[in-house]
Amino acid sequence: MVREDKIEALLKYSQFIFLETIFTMSNLQIRMANAIRALSMDAVQQANSGHPGMPMGMADIAVGLWNEHLKHNPTDPNWIDRDRFVLSNGHGSMLLYSLLHLTGYDLPIEELKNFRQLHSKTPGHPEYGITPGVETTTGPLGQGISNAVGMALAEKLLAEEFNRPGHNIIDHYTYVFLGDGCLMEGISHEVCSLAGTLKLNKLIALWDDNGISIDGKVVSWFNEDTPKRFEAYGWNVIRDVDGHDAEAVSKAIAKAKKSDKPTLICCKTAIGQGSPNMAGSDKVHGSPLGAAEIAATRVALNWPYAPFEIPKDIYSAWDFKKRGQALEHEWNKDFQKYRNKFPELAAELQRRMQGDLSKDFAPTLNQYLKACQSKAETVATRKASQNAIEALAPVLPEFMGGSADLTGSNLTNWSACKAVRGDQWGNHINYGVREFGMSAIMNGISLHGGYIPFGGTFLTFSDYSRNAIRMAALMKLRSIFVFTHDSIGLGEDGPTHQSVEHVASLRLIPNLMVWRPCDTTESAVAWGAAIERKNGPSALIFSRQNCPFVPRSAAQIKDIARGGYVLRDPQSGKINSVIIATGSEIALALQAAERLEKDGLGVRVVSMPSTTVFDQQNASYKSSVLPPNIPRIAIEAGVSDFWWKYGCAAVHGVDTFGESAPAGQLYEYFGLTADQISKTVKQCISKK
C-alpha cells in the first residue's frame, strides 16, 4: 500500500509534468505563430509593398485553426471532402502564403521571396488557380465571406443529396477569416443574413477585431454592436476571444462546431502584433515595417533567424502532409464502402465534382433545338429562357437556380425545381433582394463544385452585381448570370429600370461571355453554350416583350454558336448593305431589309447574339459574315458607342436614359422603327 504522502508527491510531480507540457505546447504555438509573422514582414519588406499588419495580428488565430481543426491535405489540394478556408481580408495574403508554405503545399520559399512579383505564385491578393490551396480570389472586401456562404451552402445541399445513413461522405466545414472592412461592406449584410436564415451551421467565421483600417481607428465610422448584429441574423456568436491565444481560439472553434447555426467568433487582436513601435496602429496596415522596425521585432519576438529562415522544429510542427494524407486515406476507405453500396450515387458525385456534363446533355440540347424550330413560338426571350431551362433540367441534376426576389419575372424556375430552405434540400434559391450577395454566393457554389449555379435579376440591377460578375470572370468560374427586362422594351417602369448602357458594359468585362438572343432557338443555344463552358461565366440577357420566331436552316442553327451569323441574305444575291442586330431588334432589322428589297436594295441581316464569341472567330469567318467595303448599320436598344468597332457607317441606338411609356411608343420615340432604319440604310448606301 502506497503511503498518502507518496501519493501526494506523485500527484504534484504529475501536475508539474502536465504544466511543463502545457508550457511547451504554448511556447511551440507562439513560435509557430511567430514564423508567420516573420515570413510576412520579410516578404512585404522585400517586395517593398504589401500588408504586414493583418498577418501579424491573426497569426495566433491561424495556429488555432490550421494546426488543430482544419481538415486538408497539402499533397491533394482538390480533395473533395476537405475543409474550405477563405481569407476574406485578402490584403493580408502573406498570412495564407505562409500557412500554405509551412504546412506543405507546393509553394516553396522562393515563391514567398517573390511576393507581389510578376508571374509568381504569391500575387498581392490571393488568386484562385494561381496558388495551390487558395480556394477563391479575395481582395474586394466582403466577397470572400460571400463566397464562403456559397461554399457552405453547396456543402449542405450536397450532403443532403448524397449522404446516406452511416456514409457521411460530404462532411466538411467552411472557415473564414475576415476583418472590419469585410463587415463594413454592404454585401456582408446580404449574405450573412441569408446564411443565418438557411442555418448554415458548418460555416465558421473568425473576426479579426483589431479596430483599425486604412484611415485609422474605426470607432469613428464603424461603431455598431457587431455581435448583436450577427445574433439578429440568426448566428451563434462567441464573444471576447483572445485572438493572441491559440488555445482559446481552438476551444472557440470546437464550441462552434457543436452549434446548429453559423458561428461568428469575435477575436480581439492587435494589428501588427509583435512590432514594438507599430503594433495597434494604422502605420502597420499597408506598408513595410522598415529594416529598423523589423530588427526590433525580431528581438521582441525572440526570433534570431535570418530573413525567410525557419528552424527545422517549426517546419516539423507545421508540416501537415502526413496528417492530411491520413485524413484523405480514411475518407477514401469510407468512399469505397459508399461506392460498393451506392455505385450510381458515387459515380454521379464524382462526375459533378469534376464539372463534367452527363452523356445525355448534348442529345437533349439538340433535340430541344429541333423542337424550337418545329414549334416556331413567338414569346418573350425570358420565356424562351425558361423553356430552355425546363427542357434541359432533367439531364442537369447539378442545376442550382435562383433569383433575387424576381422569380416570376426572371422565370428562372422550372416545374420540377424545389425551393432551398433551412430545413429542406432544394435546387432553387430565393436570394431575396440581394443582387450582389446572390452573385457572390453563386461564385462560391461554383468554386465548391457539385452544382452549376444560375441566378436572375433585371438587367439594370446588374450594376449591383458587377464586382461579383467581374470576379467570376477573373476566376474563370462556371457561374451563369441571367438578366431579363433588357432594354427600353420593358416600358412603363421607366428609366430607372430600363437598361441602356448595361449590355455594352458587360461586354467589356474580359472572359465574360455575353448573349442577347432574339428568339427561342438562339436562347436555347445561349443556354447550351453557358452550361458547356467550363472556363468562364456567362451573362444571358433576355427581353420582357415578345420576340418573333425566325426560321433557320440547319447550317444557320449551327452557326449561332459562333456568336454572329448570316440570318438573311437578299434574294437577288447582291448585297448593298449589312444590318447587324441583336435580341429584340432582329425583328426590326428583318422588317427593314424586306422593305429595302422592295426598293431594289439588297440587305444582309446579321444576327450577333454574342459579340464576345463572334470576336473570337477567325478572320476568314468574320469577313464572310461582315464582307468588306459594304456599309454596315448596327441596331440595338442601348448605347451606340459599342458598335462603332465593327466599322459601322451608322448605329441606331439609345444614347440617353429612357422614358416611362409603353414599349411600342418608346421604340418609336427613340427612332427604333423599320422606317427610320430603312432611311438610314439608304443614306449610308448613297454615301458610299
Q: Output b/e per residue, 168-182; b: 16+ Cβ within 10 A.
A: ebbebbbbbbbbbbb
CA 147 to chain centre: 6
Cell 432533367 locates to: 394
Q: In angstroms, rounded to a whole number, what is the distance separating the alpha carbons of residues 497 and 487?
A: 8
Q: Is 317 exposed, middle or buried (0-12, 13-18, 19+ CB in 10 A)?
A: middle
Q: Work out whether strand 650-652 and strand 632-635 pair parallel, antiparallel, or are unpaired.
A: parallel
Catalytic residue among 111, 185, 398, 435: 435
Please say whether the beta carbons of 325 and 352 come within 8 A: no
Q: In angstroms, rounded to a whole number, what is the distance separating the alpha carbons of residues 484 and 547?
A: 13
Q: Work out whether strand 216-217 and strand 212-213 pair parallel, antiparallel, or are unpaired.
A: antiparallel
- The crossing angle, in degrees rounded to 10, of helices 53-66 and 93-103 is 40
Sequence-separated (6 or more) residues with CB below 8 Å from residue 387: 377, 379, 520, 523, 524
Q: In angstroms, rounded to a whole number, what is the distance separating the alpha carbons of residues 107 and 148?
A: 23
Of 297, 333, 386, 223, residue with least CA distance to 37: 297
Cell 481552438 locates to: 250
Decide: helix, strand or coil at residue 402. strand
DSSP string, 239-278: EEEETT-HHHHHHHHHHHTT-SS-EEEEEE--TTTT-TTT
Please say whether the beta carbons of 454 and 469 come within 8 A: no
Q: Is 328 a catalytic residue?
A: no
* 8-state DSSP, 485: S
Q: What are phi and psi of 578, to 5 degrees?
A: -120, 125
Q: In angstroms, rounded to a whole number, what is the distance separating the alpha carbons of residues 188 and 150?
A: 13
Cell 525580431 locates to: 298
**Radius of gyration, alpha carbons of the chain:** 29
Q: Residue 376, by phi and psi: left (phi above 0), alpha (psi -120 to 50) or beta?
A: left
Sequence-separated (6 or more) residues with CB below 8 Å from residue 499: 458, 459, 460, 462, 483, 485, 486, 487, 638
Active site residues: 435
